[in-house]
Structure 1
């Protein structure tokens, strides 16, 4: 197997293929990541999302419909806890474009966010300035897009973006990293022709108990669940479920999309979906 490692969108990527990727395919992958980042990153001054946050208007993107339709479903399932307008509170708490990590007061996101935005398959429009954060599912969406770019590669394929991965053509055993001890795993998943996405409160954490998983209704970081894993047909929906599992309604969303899951509480208990094939090593609640 050949492995190509690089950094992009603030995380480490590993793309594993049966044969070495040629220059043209690497360029195509790089171009797709750059396009997505230029449109959707709130950490770039020149991005489409940053423009929406400054001025409102329209962002043209082939991802708009898929992303915002999924957000609407996730928001409905979690009673508004998952909401792309959570960006305002992330910025207020210090997770801003400059990574200042200087915390102010949390901000509750607008509950009726679907009225603040209009979208089609190819664009999203904000009638007033509205900064979006698509972290609940954006990395998963990009993993799917990169896998699509490499759809004609023969043999096996693993696209892994900081733990959100899509695997094709062969079975791969993946450890579920313990959120409080990176040297341990709480279980193992065997993934083949599917996606596995994870989220944890120890990632992108700063200050006094602050981290990137916020309840959009309050703007405050979640406290009950420490880590989640979601196994599904594609990475975008698995990523969205991994976020939604921090809230009531997450399991219902997973069932709606046919995603299997595991989550671990902050006191060390583990839960999983009824038909989940992931092997666990820790106590279950």
Structure 2
């Protein structure tokens, strides 16, 4: 995800590096920022332990090494898996958690902060993605087929942004904005005029500042932000097991939840020119590789 950021750090804001990007927390009451940051850090740690693909000891890694046997997982991981499977259904398989091995093949086999600068071979189709219907989740019992590596990168970060914003608003009684890289969620009351958010992928790219109303979310997916070499990027087309064609440099979507917004931006990258039909009635902003901007669904000019 690209680094979409709110306005500069103030007393109502905390930020720190996490998961190869930046976590940024903004609250409507500066007196609550330390507690809000503590809530966010605890939740990020719990999600990392539950579903990091880059930790051998994460619940997700252990489940993927279970040899196809059912395992009991925590309520947190069950929720994150359920969200990923639901998004796969909603997008017709465009956003599918079974792409883990396809990502590892071209080199995305560790935290992105450790990939930068590596020289890897051109991407090849190393593994046919089996699709999400091969995964079984019944309550907290998870069955991952032998040989399948799950990757929740397309959904877990967005779901976590939603979760943290809601927790801060509920526990502290303040409005909260949570940005995890390009995944932005809000909960509770918004400041006067809404939450100001700068939407821009790389320096020099077209930029836009929007104001999110209370409870709104925004996500951006990019084929330029997380790359490692001349060709690969991190958004895999599940039908080919290869990085999606670079029809769009970035896609941004506003929605009622960050999970929904991220599902649409990722699906739009995968669909390429089919993004027009997917997003025509959704507030969205698409940037081409030549930096032309297309606005759909009432995105402000």
User: Does TM-score exceed 0.5, indicating one fold?
Assistant: yes
- List gaps (5 residues or longer) in structure 1: 281-285
1:15 aligns with 2:25: yes
Matched-pair contact (CA < 8 Å) for 1:87–1:132: yes
TM-fit CA distance, 1:78: 4.8
Match of 1:283 in 2: none
RMSD: 2.8
Distance 1:247 1:226 in 2: 12
2:105 counterpart (92, 95, 104) = 92
Distance 2:227 2:164 in 1: 27
Structure 1 residues 133-144: aligned runs within 5 Å = 133-144=151-162
Match of 2:143 in 1: 125
Structure 1 residues 107-122: aligned runs within 5 Å = 107-115=126-134, 117-122=135-140
Match of 1:35 in 2: 46
Matched-pair contact (CA < 8 Å) for 2:166–2:186: no
Q: State which drifts further: 44-53 or 22-31.
A: 22-31
Q: Deviations over 1:131-189 (max 9, x none)?
A: 11111121111101111220233443221111311134221232321x4x414434332
What's the TM-score once normalised by structure 2's chain length? 0.79
1:245 aligns with 2:268: yes
1:235 aligns with 2:247: no
Distance 2:158 2:42 in 1: 17
Relative to 1, partners in 2 of residues 1:239 and 1:123: Cα closer, same or farther, differing over 3 Å? farther
Relative to 1, partners in 2 of residues 1:112 and 1:21: Cα closer, same or farther, differing over 3 Å? same
Distance 1:59 1:107 in 2: 30
Distance 1:55 1:231 in 2: 38
Greater strand share, structure number: 1
SS at match of 1:166: strand
Distance 2:42 2:255 in 1: 26
1:160 counterpart (173, 176, 179) = 179
TM-fit CA distance, 1:22: 6.6
Match of 1:220 in 2: 242
Distance 1:15 1:29 in 2: 8
Matched-pair contact (CA < 8 Å) for 1:85–1:109: no
2:300 counterpart (257, 279, 285) = 279
Matched-pair contact (CA < 8 Å) for 1:90–1:212: yes
TM-fit CA distance, 1:111: 4.0
Distance 2:150 2:98 in 1: 5
Distance 1:250 1:50 in 2: 33
Question: What is the total number of aligned residue pairs between the two structures?
Answer: 273
2:212 counterpart (191, 202, 206) = 191
Matched-pair contact (CA < 8 Å) for 1:5–1:12: yes
